[in-house]
Structure 1
């Protein structure tokens, strides 16, 4: 909170709408801090989304023309399914170490 106050003072004149929005939603913006430090980066990073977009662009670019919007949607869908299948078997760094904490949080929220 102290860091946000410093940020607010430094930037409120130049970006009043952004600072106001962040101030109103600060608890939501910082909710990732409730999770174990080992996995925080995986929650707040956009790397997985950027990778997905890059893969979709790569697959669509190789096709000079598509017959319809449905054809493009099918390529996007199949790309995401393929990536999901690959990522399902992957264990992200830190998640094995943080698993007990995540399970505890889940049980606290939803029960056993």
Structure 2
């Protein structure tokens, strides 16, 4: 059941994913009513994935880029150790996020 739900994100576009979602809901709603109700209510939040450019999909299916950013933040903040205020820490994190974004867009 959950594997079939994950397969929705392998579809080419939003229309195809929604049609497969309808088929998935009809197949599993009798057996797992709470799950299918929850999916119906919340799936739109994750389907925004299809509104982004197709070349970005491979990056979004994995948490590797997020884990790498968190590791870089940890590494850089460890070097500084003590920030004079929260804004200085936030400036560093923003700079790292902008740098990561620029690298990703290349």
Q: TM-score, normalised by structure 1?
A: 0.49
Task: Tell me if the contact between 1:22 and 1:29 (Cα under 8 Å) persists in the aligned partners.
Answer: no
Q: Call closer, same or farther: CA 1:34–1:68 in 2, change over 3 Å.
A: closer
* 2: CA distance, partners of 1:31 / 1:62: 37
Aligned to 2:28: 6
> C-alpha separation between the residues in 1 aligned to 2:65 and 2:29?
28
Aligned residues: 84
Contact 1:56 1:79 in 2 (8 A): yes
Give, in angstroms, the shift of residue 63 of structure 1: 1.9
Structure in which a larger fraction of residues adopt helix: 2
Gaps of 5+ in 1: 90-112
Distance 1:61 1:31, change over 3 A: same
Measured on the aligned residues, the alpha-carbon RMSD in Å equals 3.5
> What is the TM-score of this pair, normalised by structure 2?
0.51
Cα distance in 1 for residues equivalent to 2:63 and 2:30: 24
Q: Is 1:21 aligned to 2:21, yes or no?
A: no
1:67, 1:41 → 2: CA distance?
39
Larger RCO (alpha carbons 8 Å, 6+ apart): 1
| Structure 1 segment 1-112 matched on structure 2, within 5 A | 1=21, 2-4=23-25, 5-6=27-28, 9-10=31-32, 16=34, 19-30=36-47, 32=49, 40-89=57-106
